[in-house]
Structure formats: structure tokens, C-alpha cells
Amino acid sequence: MSEVAVIGAVKRYGQVVALGGVDLTFADGEFFGLLGPSGSGKTTLLRAIAGFIDMDAGEIRVDGTDIARIPVHKRNIGMVFQNYALFPHLSVAENIAFGLDVRNVPKGEIRARVGESLDLVRLSGLEGRRPRQLSGGQQQRVALARALVTRPQVLLLDEPLSALDKHLRQEMQVELRRIQRQIGITTIFVTHDQEEALTLSDRVAIFNQGRVVQAGAPREVYERPVNRFAAGFLGEANFLQGKVVEVAGAAARVELASGGQILVPATGLSVGAPVLVALRPEKISIDPAPADAAVAPNRILGKVSAAIFSGSSLTYRVAAGDQTVIVFEQNKSRAPLAEGSAVVLDWPVADNVVVAP
């Protein structure tokens, strides 16, 4: 098992900057999710690690050794492709044995290791089938077994679950995590499904336009996004814009452009500074406004402009001045608030996250 370090990776295709200086370290045994919109460079990074493309600048080190000059077939990597890329002319067992076969592993050992791999992905009994005789989920398992049987240093997966339907995808997520834990392989996983990235990963990195916007543990990235893009890409966020009017101790009072005031952590802020605050919709509590409702910091008044019922939860769109605030509420015993009703929103100071624009 190995640590992979990407240092200053740059890759251009003509005018397009696919990787614009990426620095990331994938710790030994870690499950790392690469997340980002389409065209943000995730596949390019994965292919650079695999050795399919030469970077214009930067280094990739596996356990401290630069692997730039090592051709694909001599890098010890396991790769799972989006379309599985199983060899159609070979049986399941032959597909899995391929990597051992080309390394001239003795026949007896190949048979034993193919058997072990089939057990690992729970496909024993299907070794004689051709790939086209398997379901999508089974093909996925074969692809995984084939990539792991050579005991690679790193496992690379490029949107491996995107071709599966929702139910199967969830099942495979659990499987993937179980298998990864069992063998403890450093795993880099590309997905555009944010929920998938959050559930599976030890750490995630958010990509945008060939750069890493933010990297860290899922919870950290979700709770403390660094900028507007990170906050908006991972989950939903309300963005509140304002100006610092007072700094008192650890808190700064911010006058919102849409009216009302909020308190934010004062770190690095001075009076008059413009601030952008990201606020997650589930952090806000929403209640019918009493007749004598008073405004206070982190407490604003508004009107429900839309109430969307989706079973276990409700989504409210609340008009507060010219700002629309989105609020998620668990479907508890109370009857949903009617559209047009006056409401009061409040939330803890700590949930106001100052982000870069």
C-alpha cells in the first residue's frame, strides 16, 4: 500500500487548461473522492496518475518516487473504467487472470488468486461466463476484481457507479467501501455525485476549472466551505451579502444588503469590510412569526413564497427583503406552513460561514 503525492500538476490541451497546478496528497490506505463539475479535470488527473497522459509540468510520487518516466504497464496501478472495459472475448476468470498472466505468474498461483478475488467480490460460480452474460453490477464487480488481483499500490476509479441504477449504485457503494477497507488499498475515486463522495470518502477534493478548490474530510468541507463555489457545489447554501458594522470581541456584526443583521466570527474582519456568508438551509429554524416579532441578529422576518413537500422533509423558500432564503425542515408533527404566511427565521451564530466570493 502506498502514499501518492501530486505536486504542481499542469496539463494543457491547446487553450484549455485541464490541470492548472494541482497539489494533492493521498494518504496510505485512504479512500479519496474527487468531486467537481464536468470538465474540471478529474479524469485528467486520474489518467496522469495512471500514466495515460504526460503532464506539462509537475510530479507524481508514489511512496516518494517520481513515476513520470515509468510507462503505464510498469506502474503498479489498478484502474476501473466507467464502462468497465471488460475484455469481451475472455471469460470472467480469464479477465481477472489477465494481469497475472502477462506478469507470468505460475498457473497454479493464478488459479488460487483468481478464486480469492472472485470470493472478495462475491462472484464465485460465474468464472466461466462472458462479460455480456453478466448484469451491470456483476460486470462492475469483475472489473474491480481484475483491477485488484495484481495487488496494485493504488486503485483508481473513474465514475465507476454512474452507469448503474440508483438501487444498485447504493449496493455497490457499500460493497466498494467494504472491499477497500478489507484490503486497505489507497483509493482515488472520481464522481460527480456529491452524496456518493460524502458517504464513501475519508477525504474529498472539490475541483473547478483544473484546480483544487478545497480538500479535506467530507464534514469539514461541508461545514466550512472556503468559497462560494465550494459551498454551492457541495449541498445547498444560502448566500448572504453584507458589510461589517461592528467588531466586538470574537464576533462581528454584519449589516445585510437585504436588511437585517447577523453575527459572524470576527477572524480577519474589520469594520467596513464586505462579507459573503454561506448558510446551510437545514441549520435555520423556521416558525410562524408572532404578532410582536422583533428583529435581532441572526433572526430575520420573511414570508413563505413556496413550500415544497417531499415526504420526509419540507423545503421552504422564504422572501426576506429582496433575498430568498431556502430552509429545510424535517417533517415533524406540525402542519406545513402555508404559502404567504409570515415567518421568523433564526439560527446559531456558528453556522454563519464567511466564505471567499
Partner 1 sequence: MTPTTRTRWAILGLTGPAYLWLAGTIFLPLTAMLVLSFLDKSPLVPQPASFTLANYQAYFSKSFYWPLTRWSIELGLWVTLFCFLIGYPAAFALAKRVKGRWREAIFLLIVLPFWSNALVRVFSWTMVLRSNGIVDVAVQSVFPGAPTIDLLFSYPAVIIGLVHSYLPYMILTCYIALQAIDDSLIEAGRSLGANRFTTFYRVILPLSLPGIVSGAALIFVPVIGSFMEPRILGGTKGATLGMNIEEQFTVTANWPLGAALSFILLAIVLVIFGILYPVLRRQGGGA
Q: Please tell me whether residue 166 binds partner 1 under the rule CB under 8 A.
A: no
Cell numbers at 47, concatenated? 489518467
CB of 57 to ligand ADP, least distance (A): 16
- Residue from 212, 239, 215 nearest 228 by CA: 239
Provide φ and ψ at 44, rounded to 5°.
-60, -45
**Binding span for ligand ADP by CB under 6 A among 42-50, 132-140, 226-234, 344-352:** 42-50
CB nearer partner 1, residue 190 or residue 304: 190
Q: Please tell me whether residue 249 binds partner 1 under the rule CB under 8 A.
A: no
C-alpha–C-alpha distance, residues 155 and 29, integer Å: 10
Q: Which of 15, 38, 89, 106 binds partner 1 (CB under 8 A)?
A: 89
Q: Please tell me whether residue 78 binds partner 1 under the rule CB under 8 A.
A: yes
C-alpha–C-alpha distance, residues 289 and 300, integer Å: 10
Dihedral sign (CA 214, 217, 219, 220): negative
C-alpha–C-alpha distance, residues 53 and 247, integer Å: 51
CB of 44 to Mg ion, least distance (A): 8
Cell numbers at 245, concatenated? 458594522
Q: What do you get for the CA distance between the two ends of the chain, in Å?
A: 39
Following DSSP, what letter does each residue of 3-72 receive, concatenated?
-EEEEEEEEEETTEEEEEEEEEEE-TT-EEEEE--TTSSHHHHHHHHHTSS--SEEEEEETTEE-TTS-G
Q: Please tell me whether residue 150 binds partner 1 under the rule CB under 8 A.
A: yes
Q: Please tell me whether residue 13 binds ligand ADP under the rule CB under 6 A.
A: yes
The item of ligand ADP, Mg ion, partner 1, none sharing an interface with residue 309, based on CB under 5 to 8 Å by kind, is none
Q: Please tell me whether residue 87 binds partner 1 under the rule CB under 8 A.
A: yes
Q: Are 32 and 188 in contact (CB under 8 A)?
A: yes
Q: Which of 9, 32, 40, 212 binds ligand ADP (CB under 6 A)?
A: 40
Q: Please tell me whether residue 16 binds partner 1 under the rule CB under 8 A.
A: no
Label residue 302 exposed, middle or buried (CB < 10 Å: 0-12, 13-18, 19+).
buried
Q: Please tell me whether residue 57 binds ligand ADP under the rule CB under 6 A.
A: no
CB nearer partner 1, residue 55 or residue 230: 55
C-alpha–C-alpha distance, residues 177 and 103, integer Å: 28
The item of ligand ADP, Mg ion, partner 1, none sharing an interface with residue 89, based on CB under 5 to 8 Å by kind, is partner 1
> What mask of x and - would describe binding to partner 1 in positions 116 to 135, judged by CB under 8 A?
--------------x-----
Residue count, binding to ligand ADP (CB under 6 A): 11
Q: Please tell me whether residue 353 binds partner 1 under the rule CB under 8 A.
A: no
Q: Please tell me whether residue 18 binds ligand ADP under the rule CB under 6 A.
A: yes
Q: Which of 2, 40, 43, 238 binds Mg ion (CB under 5 A)?
A: 43
Cell numbers at 209, concatenated? 476549472
Q: Are strands 285-288 and 274-279 parallel, antiparallel or unpaired?
A: unpaired
Measured from each CB, the residue nearest to Mg ion is 43
CB nearer partner 1, residue 18 or residue 157: 157
Q: Are 216 and 199 in contact (CB under 8 A)?
A: no
**Binding span for ligand ADP by CB under 6 A among 40-48, 143-151, 163-171, 284-292:** 40-48
CB of 87 to partner 1, least distance (A): 6
CB of 38 to partner 1, least distance (A): 18
- Residue from 1, 2, 7 nearest 62 by CA: 2
Strand pairing partners for 316?
A: 307, 327
Q: Are 172 and 142 in contact (CB under 8 A)?
A: no
> Which residues are near partner 1 by CB under 8 A?
50, 52, 71-74, 76-79, 81-83, 85-90, 98-99, 102-103, 130, 146-147, 150
Interacting residue ranges for ligand ADP, rule: CB under 6 A: 13, 16, 18, 36, 38-44
Q: Which residues bind Mg ion (CB under 5 A)?
A: 43
